[in-house]
Protein backbone atom coordinates (compact mmCIF):
# COMPACT_ATOMS: atom_id res chain seq x y z
CA UNK A 1 0.00 0.00 0.00
CA UNK A 2 1.42 3.39 -0.98
CA UNK A 3 0.87 6.45 1.18
CA UNK A 4 1.62 10.06 0.28
CA UNK A 5 2.95 12.12 3.19
CA UNK A 6 3.45 15.88 3.22
CA UNK A 7 5.26 17.42 6.16
CA UNK A 8 4.07 20.95 6.94
CA UNK A 9 6.90 22.30 9.09
CA UNK A 10 5.24 25.33 10.70
CA UNK A 11 3.81 26.00 14.16
CA UNK A 12 2.40 29.13 15.82
CA UNK A 13 4.78 28.70 18.73
CA UNK A 14 7.56 26.36 19.75
CA UNK A 15 6.61 23.75 22.33
CA UNK A 16 9.66 23.17 24.51
CA UNK A 17 9.29 19.36 24.52
CA UNK A 18 8.98 18.96 20.74
CA UNK A 19 11.59 17.19 18.60
CA UNK A 20 9.78 17.57 15.28
CA UNK A 21 11.21 19.76 12.56
CA UNK A 22 9.28 23.04 12.44
CA UNK A 23 9.58 26.81 12.10
CA UNK A 24 7.50 29.63 13.56
CA UNK A 25 8.24 31.92 10.58
CA UNK A 26 4.76 31.71 9.09
CA UNK A 27 5.67 34.26 6.40
CA UNK A 28 7.59 31.43 4.70
CA UNK A 29 4.53 29.23 4.12
CA UNK A 30 3.95 30.42 0.55
CA UNK A 31 7.57 29.63 -0.34
CA UNK A 32 7.23 26.20 1.21
CA UNK A 33 4.03 25.43 -0.72
CA UNK A 34 5.76 26.45 -3.96
CA UNK A 35 8.78 24.28 -3.11
CA UNK A 36 6.54 21.31 -2.27
CA UNK A 37 4.75 21.66 -5.61
CA UNK A 38 8.14 21.66 -7.36
CA UNK A 39 9.14 18.56 -5.43
CA UNK A 40 5.91 16.83 -6.51
CA UNK A 41 6.69 17.79 -10.11
CA UNK A 42 10.23 16.46 -9.89
CA UNK A 43 9.16 13.14 -8.34
CA UNK A 44 5.97 12.49 -10.29
CA UNK A 45 7.67 10.40 -12.98
CA UNK A 46 9.17 8.15 -10.27
CA UNK A 47 5.63 7.40 -9.09
CA UNK A 48 3.97 7.05 -12.49
CA UNK A 49 3.01 3.43 -11.71
CA UNK A 50 1.92 4.19 -8.15
CA UNK A 51 -1.65 4.62 -6.96
CA UNK A 52 -1.60 6.25 -3.53
CA UNK A 53 -4.20 5.00 -1.10
CA UNK A 54 -3.64 7.61 1.59
CA UNK A 55 -2.68 11.27 1.87
CA UNK A 56 -1.38 12.40 5.24
CA UNK A 57 -0.54 16.01 6.01
CA UNK A 58 1.47 16.05 9.22
CA UNK A 59 3.66 18.51 11.00
CA UNK A 60 4.23 20.82 12.43
CA UNK A 61 0.71 22.14 12.19
CA UNK A 62 -0.83 21.55 8.74
CA UNK A 63 -3.98 23.43 9.71
CA UNK A 64 -1.89 26.62 9.73
CA UNK A 65 -2.05 26.56 5.95
CA UNK A 66 -4.53 29.05 4.58
CA UNK A 67 -7.47 27.72 2.63
CA UNK A 68 -5.96 28.80 -0.69
CA UNK A 69 -2.57 27.32 0.22
CA UNK A 70 -4.13 24.02 1.24
CA UNK A 71 -6.26 23.86 -1.90
CA UNK A 72 -3.29 24.76 -4.10
CA UNK A 73 -1.17 21.98 -2.64
CA UNK A 74 -3.88 19.31 -2.69
CA UNK A 75 -5.06 20.15 -6.20
CA UNK A 76 -1.47 20.04 -7.43
CA UNK A 77 -0.97 16.59 -5.95
CA UNK A 78 -4.21 15.40 -7.58
CA UNK A 79 -3.08 16.80 -10.92
CA UNK A 80 0.33 15.14 -10.87
CA UNK A 81 -0.19 11.85 -9.03
CA UNK A 82 -2.67 8.97 -9.04
CA UNK A 83 -4.86 8.33 -6.00
CA UNK A 84 -7.18 5.48 -5.12
CA UNK A 85 -10.94 6.02 -5.46
CA UNK A 86 -11.34 5.18 -1.76
CA UNK A 87 -8.52 7.45 -0.70
CA UNK A 88 -8.11 8.09 3.02
CA UNK A 89 -7.20 11.72 3.73
CA UNK A 90 -5.70 12.76 7.05
CA UNK A 91 -5.03 16.35 8.03
CA UNK A 92 -3.53 17.00 11.46
CA UNK A 93 -5.30 20.01 12.95
CA UNK A 94 -5.11 22.34 15.89
CA UNK A 95 -8.65 22.40 17.36
CA UNK A 96 -8.76 26.20 17.13
CA UNK A 97 -8.15 26.01 13.37
CA UNK A 98 -11.05 23.70 12.56
CA UNK A 99 -13.84 25.37 10.63
CA UNK A 100 -15.98 24.08 7.79
CA UNK A 101 -14.38 26.68 5.54
CA UNK A 102 -10.84 25.63 6.40
CA UNK A 103 -11.63 21.99 5.73
CA UNK A 104 -13.39 22.79 2.45
CA UNK A 105 -10.32 22.02 0.28
CA UNK A 106 -10.30 18.55 1.80
CA UNK A 107 -14.05 18.07 1.77
CA UNK A 108 -14.21 19.46 -1.74
CA UNK A 109 -11.60 17.08 -3.06
CA UNK A 110 -12.40 16.20 -6.60
CA UNK A 111 -12.69 12.51 -5.81
CA UNK A 112 -16.26 12.06 -4.70
CA UNK A 113 -15.59 8.70 -3.08
CA UNK A 114 -12.79 10.02 -0.94
CA UNK A 115 -13.03 8.99 2.68
CA UNK A 116 -11.84 11.52 5.20
CA UNK A 117 -10.31 11.08 8.59
CA UNK A 118 -9.20 14.20 10.42
CA UNK A 119 -6.67 13.77 13.17
CA UNK A 120 -6.71 16.40 15.89
CA UNK A 121 -3.84 17.12 18.23
S1 LIG B 1 4.67 20.09 16.15
FE2 LIG B 1 3.11 20.15 17.78
S3 LIG B 1 4.26 19.82 19.68
FE4 LIG B 1 5.76 20.40 18.10
S5 LIG B 1 6.02 22.62 18.28
FE6 LIG B 1 4.41 22.24 16.76
S7 LIG B 1 2.47 22.32 17.92
FE8 LIG B 1 4.15 22.06 19.42
Q: What is the pLDDT of residues 11-61, one digit of tens each?
A: 999 999 999 989 999 999 999 999 999 999 999 999 999 999 999 999 999
> CB within 6 Å of ligand 1 — which residues?
11, 14-15, 18, 20, 22, 59-61
Spatial separation of the C-alpha atoms in residues 79 and 97, rounded to whole Å: 26
Of ligand 1's listed atoms, the one at least distance from the Cα of 13 is 5
In this predicted model, what pLDDT tens digit does every residue of 53-78 receive, in sequence order? 999 999 999 999 998 999 999 999 99
In this predicted model, what pLDDT tens digit does every residue of 91-111 receive, in sequence order? 898 888 888 777 776 665 544
- Rounded CA Rg of the chain: 14
Helices 67-80 and 29-43 cross at an angle (nearest 10°) of 10
Spatial separation of the C-alpha atoms in residues 100 and 95, rounded to whole Å: 12
Topology of domain 2-117 in CATH is Transcription Regulator spoIIAA (3.30.750)
Amino acid sequence: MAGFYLHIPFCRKACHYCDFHFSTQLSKIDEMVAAMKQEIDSRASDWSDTVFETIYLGGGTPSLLGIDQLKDLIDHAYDKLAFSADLEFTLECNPEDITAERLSPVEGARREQTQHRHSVF
